[in-house]
Structure 1
Amino acid sequence: MDPRDLESLNSLLEQDVGVSENIKEQVKEFDKRIRTIVGILGKIHSTPSHSMPELLDSVDPVLHSCSEITLAIADVIPPDQFWRWKDMWSNSMRSAVYAAALIQYLRNGTLLSLPRASEILGINGEWKDRFSLPVEDYLHGLISMVNELSRYVINAVTLGQFEEPVRISNFVKEIFSGFTMLNLKNDSLRRRFDSLKYDLKKIEEVVYDVSLRKLVPANPPVQ
């Protein structure tokens, strides 16, 4: 091989190693912050409704600080190479979406949109060739939120919040209906979608139980 070609190839390899190492460093910090967030959110299962706003507020600074990570990653990704490197932080991104979506539901009973998730995580639309929030990662995050709500609904009843299962049931039914209208070609996403059926069934069983015991009014308020 021509020595000049070898030199060029070595330069490209070194560049790739540099990008990879920089990303690993940022993802390590990303994961650390996500663990902190998930740890705090784990307390929702033992937190009464009147204390929930304070708990959620305590998560905000850590969640919003993740924008520092997305900026740092975007800065090291070469133009038009987002899809080459994205798998290195996909799991972290899905967990961040899960946290943001769960917080939004617990605050006001609404579904986090993809643009709003990108905004919370500080993702700039001008980075689209280097860094963005893929639809697949957003949807994975929503599924994780529903998984957590199916657990939360049982603990809410234990805490005496008997109307919460009905609100969560209505919310999850809307999400499930939306997923059924999506063309899910991603195998991983399609398999995880199946878990929504079991989550919905579990939630409906709790609703049936509290209704049978007359722990909720005949027409409970919809959040």
Structure 2
Amino acid sequence: MDSENLENINQMLEQDAELREKIKDQVTEFDKKTRVMTGLLNKIHSTPTNQLPALLDSVQPVLYSCSDVTAEIADLVPANQFWRWKDTWCNSLRNAVFVATLIEFLRSESLMTIQQVSDILGIQPSWKDRFVLTAEDYLHGVISLVNELSRLAVNAVTMGDFEQPIKISNFVKDIFAGFSMLNLKNDTLRRRYDSLKYDMKKIEEVVYDVSLRKLAPSTRDA
């Protein structure tokens, strides 16, 4: 290789390394935010139901602030290079999906759509070749939501909330039914989907125990 070619290659390598570090710095910031949110939300397992709104209100501003980070990342990624860089931030993004969907369930007992999550994270349609929320990352976040709800079903009973496991059971059954209609070709995603069966079983055992003992208001007259 001649000297000019070598110089061009060196410049390309340096630019690539510089870009990687800049993206990594923003992803680190994204990670910090998701860790703060998941740490706060872990308190749902020891927080009475009537105090949950205040807890969720404390997490919401951090969730909204994630839009600043996604914008920074989108600005850094060159056009048409989404697939080259997506693995850098996919874990952070999946955690953000988990947080957003968990908050939505605890507020309204409904599942936030992929578009709603994208909107709350400030992801713009114009970023489609640089930074997007893929269906795969969204589904990973939803599976994490179910994992957390199976734990909550048990802890809710410990705190004397016997209605929550029933609500969780209905919600998770609906999600499982939706997953069963998807053609999952990603091996990791398919394995995680299979784990939902264990979560459902765990939740159903809690609901069965609550129903058998007629602890929930809706089961006392049954």
Q: CA deviation at 1:219?
A: 6.0
Q: CA deviation at 1:195?
A: 1.1
Aligned to 1:124: 124
Aligned to 1:104: 104
Alignment pair present for 1:37 and 2:43: no
Alignment pair present for 1:204 and 2:198: no
Q: Which amino acid aligns with 1:86?
A: K
Aligned to 2:152: 152
CA contact (8 A) 2:101 2:111 kept: yes
Structure 1 segment 43-192 matched on structure 2, within 5 A: 43-192=43-192
Q: CA deviation at 1:217?
A: 4.1
CA contact (8 A) 2:34 2:95 kept: yes
Paired with 2:21 and 2:218, the residues of 1 have a C-alpha distance of 58
CA contact (8 A) 2:211 2:219 kept: no
Paired with 1:62 and 1:134, the residues of 2 have a C-alpha distance of 22
Paired with 2:179 and 2:12, the residues of 1 have a C-alpha distance of 42
Paired with 1:43 and 1:217, the residues of 2 have a C-alpha distance of 25
SS at match of 1:89: helix
Paired with 1:110 and 1:66, the residues of 2 have a C-alpha distance of 22
Paired with 1:139 and 1:153, the residues of 2 have a C-alpha distance of 21
Paired with 2:3 and 2:86, the residues of 1 have a C-alpha distance of 33
Paired with 1:87 and 1:187, the residues of 2 have a C-alpha distance of 16
Paired with 2:120 and 2:15, the residues of 1 have a C-alpha distance of 31
Q: Which amino acid aligns with 1:62?
A: V
Q: Which amino acid aligns with 1:42?
A: N
SS at match of 2:21: helix
Q: CA deviation at 1:4?
A: 2.4
Q: Kindly, what percent of the aligned residue pairs are identical?
A: 63
Q: Which amino acid aligns with 2:186?
A: N
Q: Deviations over 1:97-145 (max 9, x none)?
A: 0000000000000001000000111111100001111111100000000
Aligned to 1:24: 24
SS at match of 2:185: coil
Q: CA deviation at 1:7?
A: 2.1
Q: 1:52 to 1:218 in 2, by over 3 A?
A: closer
Q: CA deviation at 1:10?
A: 1.7
Q: Deviations over 1:141-189 (max 9, x none)?
A: 0000000000001111111111111111010001001111111111110
Q: Which amino acid aligns with 1:199?
A: D
Q: Which amino acid aligns with 1:90?
A: C
Q: CA deviation at 1:218?
A: 4.9
Paired with 1:72 and 1:219, the residues of 2 have a C-alpha distance of 51
Paired with 1:41 and 1:168, the residues of 2 have a C-alpha distance of 16
Unaligned runs of 5+ in 1: none
How many equivalent pairs are there?
220
Q: Which amino acid aligns with 1:211?
A: S
TM-score (normalizing by structure 1): 0.96
